[in-house]
Structure 1
Amino acid sequence: MTTSDPDRPVTIRTRAELDEYLTESDRVLVMVRTEGCAICQSMEPILDNVVRATDATVLVFNPREDLDAVAAFDVRSTPTFLLFVDGELVDRRADGFVPTAALVEFVEDG
């Protein structure tokens, strides 16, 4: 697993890295993003807030190196938020910018 600052989202690049986090964390929020996505960039401080407000592991995934993950999770736009609980995908959002309170609620209620 990638060593990281626990107060910041962790950037991953492959499905294998994602799978490792899913086996080690009970609740994982993944933001699937692409380079140059302005909304994705605007979500970065929101993700920092989610890290501080919840016990979820927060990952940022640019699947450019692992395009099979895009198909596996049916990602059609960015950002897409995937919520995993106990290793299982339980919810998703792909509706653009999400304010802190709404994203925290998504993580906690999922």
Structure 2
Amino acid sequence: MTTEMPSDTSATSPDKPVRINGTAELDEFVANGDVILADFYADWCGPCRMLEPIVKRLASDTDATVAKVDVDTNPQLANSFGVRGVPTLVLFADGEQVEKIVGVQSEEQLRSLIESHTN
């Protein structure tokens, strides 16, 4: 299921994670948003499933837009961001990559990271 992205993500961010398919889609998403948290995951990954409720809450409770990238259907995109293990979270602020975190993180850590880059 794909969630439509509002045309102006700087004014409002979706309250659910948005599935991204392909480099062009992620590039456009990042260019049009303020703070984007990209979750590179795989359906078979246990830690990714543990992280899922956290990223859903972050999508609904923070100003960040959460993008979900399935590494199995987007291997070239994952490779271009140096994703070697899942989950990998990449944070973008104002169109630039500012952080990359590998592994499950606590909701508090991720929320703090997002808030540190929110205008």
Q: What is the TM-score when the length of structure 2 is the normalising length?
A: 0.82
Structure showing the higher helix proportion among its residues: 1
What is residue 87 of structure 1 aligned with on the other side? 95
What is residue 70 of structure 1 aligned with on the other side? 78
**Counterpart Cα distance in 2 of 1:54 and 1:65:** 27
Residue 80 (structure 1) shift: 0.3
What is residue 34 of structure 2 aligned with on the other side? 26
Unpaired segments of 5 or more residues in structure 2? 6-12
2:107 counterpart (68, 79, 100):
100
Identity of aligned pairs, percent?
34
Aligned structure 1 segments of 4 or more residues deviating by more than 6 angstroms: none
Residue 37 (structure 1) shift: 0.5
Structural RMSD (CA): 2.0
**Counterpart Cα distance in 1 of 2:110 and 2:55:** 8
What is residue 62 of structure 2 aligned with on the other side? 54
What is residue 36 of structure 1 aligned with on the other side? 44
**Counterpart Cα distance in 1 of 2:86 and 2:101:** 10
Count of residues in correspondence between the two structures: 109
- In terms of mean alpha carbon deviation, does 46-55 or 75-84 score higher? 46-55
Counterpart contact for 1:13–1:64, Cα < 8 Å: no
Unpaired segments of 5 or more residues in structure 1? none
